[in-house]
Each structure stands twice: as structure tokens, then as C-alpha cells.
Structure 1
């Protein structure tokens, strides 16, 4: 381990200002890197074949990465880490990885049977939760319009619990003309919309379920008119009690379950999703006792999937990188949960 004593040390330039979304968006893709946060996530990146550039750890936790090689390990005191990154690195370890070239959409489509297509989903939390749901529910790949958020941005990676490394994805462009490429590959493009004339998903025919491409838009505006026009049919999730929509990540998860519920499959405890069960502690009360970082990340991702703003505020990670204007308002149940998030052993 090489000790870092100053935040300006050029050896750790990859980790500067991690909470500045605009800066990181300009810096990471052109320089061909991304950041993984937490031991569990960085080990998933390694298992997926991503090549590390460096590891940055709290000096006293260097043992967490003692078995890793292939890149330099830098250690620093917590104060230096916070100066560099812009937040308290309570998981104790970060890693910088080389990006890989994305495969063409045609290759992803050829190797998949069921895909999710996203238009303008530019919220990193939603994108990460979508990838986690896609991985868990057996959909094969994700296709992104050019204006979607970066799946390898730190928050997306963290919320997905590293499942962005397990799910193939590609850019679909030019948009929306490239949707014709999906249809030509034999898929039925199903546009998710709350419109009354949309087909309830449970009424889809067997033929329509053979090779579905589920098309979803950003939370709020939904799908564009052009994307809707390019779809083969419109589908919706039945709602009750006057609710007309769900958070886009929750809607994606429910729709994926509907498309895959008749599959004959066995759980894969040794896969990426199964690693959560192996790494996370036993279930703990959500309002009392210490909650480890791994458990807290799971609770936070579940809250993100729920679409409940209060729940998401309650389980927001302390280093989420909000600007002052985005901080939770008075009365939101944050302080106790943040204490819980910081308690107990850090397992990444």
C-alpha cells in the first residue's frame, strides 16, 4: 500500500469531486474510467472482468483489499479521503476501473430473448434500480436511448449493487429510428403507458410474449410521441385506488416479472444476485440496532424501487451527493436512519 497524505496527490486524481455529477460526467467517459464504491461492488466488477486502475482505501482498512492485485493500492486517513471525494467514505474502499467498449445494439439483440428499452431515463438512482430488477427477474439486456444516464456512474453502480456489470447493455441510436432495428431482430416492442387503451400486461398472448422488448420512458414525461408511434403495441399495469402510475424502476420490475413469471428456472445463489444473500447480514429490524453498509444499501435500493419519496429520503445514503437545494426537508425521517447506516461493521 502507498500512503497518501495530501488531497492534491496526482496519483488519486481519478477520485476527485465524486459528488459533482456534471464534472464526473465530463471526466469519466472521455478518460475511459468509472468508480466502484464498496468492497462488494468492486469485487463484482472484478469478477465481471473489468480491469482496475487503482484502489483507494482508508489506511486502517487496507486488509479489505489485501488479496487483490493488478493495480496500485493507495491508503489515506478519513480526512484526506473526504477532501478528495467530497463525502465521508464510510464503506472504506473505492476503486477506479477501465471502461470497456460497448457492444453494438445488434449484437446485444441477437444474444437476448427479452430486453428492456429506456428512453431519456436520466436519473442515476432509477437507472441503477432498473438494472437490479432486470438482473433479478431474468430479462436479458437493456438498451438505452442516447440521453439516458450512464450505467457506470457511481450512484447507478451503487444502487444496482453491481448488477450493471452482469446485464449486457448498449446504446440504441439514432433515436427513435433505431427502434426499427429492434423490430427487425424479431422483437415485439411494447410501450409502457398508463393510457386507457393500453393492453393490460396479464392479457398478452403467448405469441406477444415470445420476444418482448419493453419500452419505458423517464419518470414524469413518460415516452415521447415518436417512441409511442414506433411501438407495436401499448401495454399497462393494472392499477387500483385511483393510482395511475408507478416509479419507473418499480414499473419496470413489475413488468419484467409479468413477462418472466412462467419461466421454469432455479435460483442461482452463486450468481451476482446471489452474492447479496451471501454477503449481507441476517435480516435486522429496520428501525433499531446497527445496520451494516451492505444491508443499508439493500434497504436504500428497495426504497428507491418503491417510488415512495419519504422512504427514499429516509434511506438516502449519507454520501449521496445532493446539492443544498436537494437536501431532505424538515421532518423527513433521515437522522435516525443515517445513524443506523453508519453503525456496525462496514461490508461495502
Structure 2
């Protein structure tokens, strides 16, 4: 059971995991160095622990203790209890979802392990916005995708914002990073997947046509700005687009991901 510890000093060194959460660069360095990530909100904290992640500690206001009593009873570590105004001083924002947990990262699985038994896979190239990565995981999980593969430069799906936006989908969906960016799509084709790249290429066809009849699908999306790299665009088996009215050529990548996942789920 997690030990309850009341803290009244926002500068207490034991709260280092939770300090200045708005500073993205600081968090990247801290979390990589110490092998941790943060979960925010009752549902997300529960899902992280149910997925087998071990808690380092918790931080919450007194009014949230009862609702998470079963979580604390089944977990180790320490639960730091503070009034909400002091928590805001520590974190730099209002923790309106009531609870934070610092959890240990686990080693990433291999591509082979992630793809085992998968029929529909999301493949993300260089999405650098944590909100978009979280949204992609959430849409994929909701619409039946079995796994997610990330190019090396994609944003961290375990960063607090990504986890929060994805409502913990990262804990339910097998994922890993691709070790070989250049030949990633040909490798997937060699494993029996049809790679369908969402892009405005001249030979793109409507997404419904591109996924029709596909058994094992790898749906490929590119970065928020320029989209897919030329290498990934040309090495995909098929290229697809989302038909839309004249004068509008694209959607936000998170919205495009949701539409494409829906079309793929109906194939």
C-alpha cells in the first residue's frame, strides 16, 4: 500500500518528479534521465497501473484520496498529499483531474513483438506535437487498430500531455519505435502488410479505395508540417487521400488520422 505523506512546502525535494511540468524541454531531460513518465487523472492513472507500470509516487489533493483508495491500496511507493493551491505551485498548472502519478518506464518491445497477431497498424513519421501523438493513439485504439509504430523522431507518447489527450490509450495499445527509418515501409511490406500512405501525391486514391480488400494494413501518416518524407511516400505500397471540397487540401493530422482509421475499420 502507498504511504500517505502530507507536505506543506512546495519546494520539498521529494516532489522533483512533478516540478515545472509545463517546461517541455526540462521534462524530456528529466524523464529520460530517470526513466519515468507522468500520468494525470484518475482514469489514466488506473490504466497505467492496470497495464503493469510500477508507481514511483503519487501527488494528489485530499479530496481525491477516497476515489483512488483502491489504487493506493494496491500500489507501492508514496502518495504525497497537498492542498490544490500548493500542487499548482509545484506543477505550474491547475491539476483539475485530481491526481498525478510518477511511474517507471519499461523497455520498449521489439517490432516483432508489437506486430505479433496485428491486422491493423498505425505508422507515424515525425509527429512532433504531443497532442497529435496522443490523439492518434486514441483514434487508433477506438477504431480497432492493434499496434502503433513510431519513427525515431516522433514525440514521446508517454509524455504527460500525450498520455492525457490519448486517455491512456498508450497503455492498451502495443507500440514501439522503428529502429530503421529508411527501410521501415519495405520491411512492413515484407512482413505481409500493405502500407497505405496518407498523402497528396499525384497517384493518391480515395482512402476507401486504397484500403479496400486489404487484410493486414499499415496506415502511414506524416508530420504536421510537410507531411510524409519523400522516402516514405514513394516506398509505400499505396498512396491515399481523404476526398474533400475544393479549396481545402488537408486536415490537421489528428483529424486526418481519425477519418482514415474510420475508413480502414470499415474495410
TM bucket (normalised to shorter chain) is over 0.9
Deviating above 4 A after TM superposition, structure 1's stretches of 4 or more consecutive aligned residues are: none
For the 8 Å contact 1:189–1:231, the answer to whether it is kept is: yes
1:260 counterpart residue number: 265
Are 1:158 and 2:164 counterparts?
yes
In the superposition, the TM-score normalised over structure 2's length comes to 0.93
For the 8 Å contact 2:128–2:224, the answer to whether it is kept is: no
- The worse-fitting range, judged by mean Cα deviation, of 131-140 and 45-54 is 45-54
Q: What are the equivalent positions in structure 2 for 1:152-231 lying under 5 Å apart?
A: 152-204=158-210, 206-207=212-213, 209-231=214-236
Alignment counterpart, residue 31 of structure 2, candidates 10, 28, 31: 28
SS of the equivalent of 2:39 reads strand
5+ residue gaps in structure 1? 263-348
In the TM superposition, what is the alpha-carbon distance from 1:206 to its structure 2 partner? 4.6
5+ residue gaps in structure 2? none
In the TM superposition, what is the alpha-carbon distance from 1:89 to its structure 2 partner? 1.7
RMSD of aligned alpha carbons: 1.5
Name the CA distance, whole Å, in 1 between partners of 2:108 and 2:211: 33
In the superposition, the TM-score normalised over structure 1's length comes to 0.72
Alignment counterpart, residue 125 of structure 1, candidates 125, 131, 147: 131
For the 8 Å contact 1:122–1:149, the answer to whether it is kept is: yes
SS of the equivalent of 2:141 reads helix
Are 1:97 and 2:97 counterparts?
no
Name the CA distance, whole Å, in 2 between partners of 1:166 and 1:93: 20
Name the CA distance, whole Å, in 1 between partners of 2:53 and 2:69: 18
1:296 counterpart residue number: none
- Listed one character per residue, the Cα deviations across residues 245-300 of structure 1 (whole Å, up to 9, x for unaligned) are 111111111111111115xxxxxxxxxxxxxxxxxxxxxxxxxxxxxxxxxxxxxx
- Listed one character per residue, the Cα deviations across residues 214-239 of structure 1 (whole Å, up to 9, x for unaligned) are 11101121001111122112111111
Name the CA distance, whole Å, in 2 between partners of 1:224 and 1:89: 38
SS of the equivalent of 2:233 reads helix
Name the CA distance, whole Å, in 2 between partners of 1:212 and 1:61: 42
Number of equivalenced pairs: 261
Q: What are the equivalent positions in structure 2 for 1:1-348 lying under 5 Å apart?
A: 1-67=4-70, 68-69=72-73, 70-204=76-210, 206-207=212-213, 209-262=214-267
In the TM superposition, what is the alpha-carbon distance from 1:205 to its structure 2 partner? 6.4
Higher relative strand content: 2
In the TM superposition, what is the alpha-carbon distance from 1:195 to its structure 2 partner? 2.7
